[in-house]
């Protein structure tokens, strides 16, 4: 099921019995409104251990390739970022981070 140009589909347009004809289309859903707090990753503190990526129940931590040089001179080949469309703000990543590089920041709307 999906929206058509921002409009919710009527009963005649929805596939029979609410089947999903396009597998995986929940990826299009925007879950950002579920959050009260959002995780913010401090790239300087982050040691690229990947634990947040492993623990995230919604696969909302994204591994991005690319060189990052910290102020203290350490060089990493990847960085971790948050997919804010799918992050529900559960805070598991912040809880698991061994170097406290993830802060939960209140959403201001």
Partner 1 sequence: MAAQEAKLVERKAKRLALTGNYAVAYAVKSCDVDVVAAYPITPQSPIVEKISEFIANEELDAEMVHVESEHSALSAVVGAVAFGARAFTATSSQGLEFMHEILFIASGLRLPVVMAIANRALSAPLNIWNDYSDVMSARDAGWITIFNETAQEAHDAVVMAYRIAEDPRVLIPTIITLDGYILSHTVEPVEVIEREEALKFAPKRPRGYRPVLDPDKPITMGVVGTPEYYYEIKYQLIHAMRESVKVIDEVFSDFCKTFGRCYERVEPYRMDDAEYVLISMGATFGEVRAAVDKLRREGVKAGGLKIKVFRPFPADLLEKYIGGGNVKAVGVLDRAVTVGGATEGPVFNEVATALALRGIRLPMVSFVHGLGGRDIFADDVVKMFKILMEHASRGESARRTYFIGVRE
Chain residues in the site for partner 1 (CB under 8 A): 1, 8-11, 14-21, 23
Query: Minimum distance between the CB of residue 107 and partner 1, rounded to whole angstroms?
Result: 21
Q: State CA 81 to chain mean position distance.
A: 8
In sequence order, which residues have a C-beta less than 8 Å from that of residue 95 and are 6 or more positions away? none
CA angle 16, 20, 21 (to 5 degrees): 90
Question: 77: which 2 tokens?
Answer: 């080949």
- DSSP, collapsed to helix, strand or coil, labels residue 106 as strand
Measured from the CB atom, the residue of 26 and 70 that comes closer to partner 1 is: 26
The least distance separating partner 1 from the CB of residue 35, rounded to whole angstroms, comes to 18
Q: Which is closer to partner 1, CB of 18 or CB of 66? A: 18
Q: Which is nearer to partner 1, 5 or 72 (CB)?
A: 5
Nearest distance, CB of residue 83 and partner 1, angstroms: 21
Strand partners, 76: 68
């Amino acid at each position: 099921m999906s929206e058509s140009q921002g409009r919710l589909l009527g009963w005649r347009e929805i596939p029979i019995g609410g089947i999903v004809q396009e597998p995986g289309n929940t990826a299009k859903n925007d879950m950002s409104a579920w959050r009260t707090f959002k995780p913010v990753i401090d790239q300087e503190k982050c040691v690229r251990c990947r634990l947040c990526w492993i623990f995230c129940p919604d696969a909302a931590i994204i591994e991005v390739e690319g060189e990052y040089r910290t102020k203290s001179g350490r060089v990493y080949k990847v960085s971790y970022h948050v997919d804010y469309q799918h992050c529900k703000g559960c805070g598991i990543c912040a809880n698991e981070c061994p170097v406290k590089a993830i802060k939960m920041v209140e959403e201001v709307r």
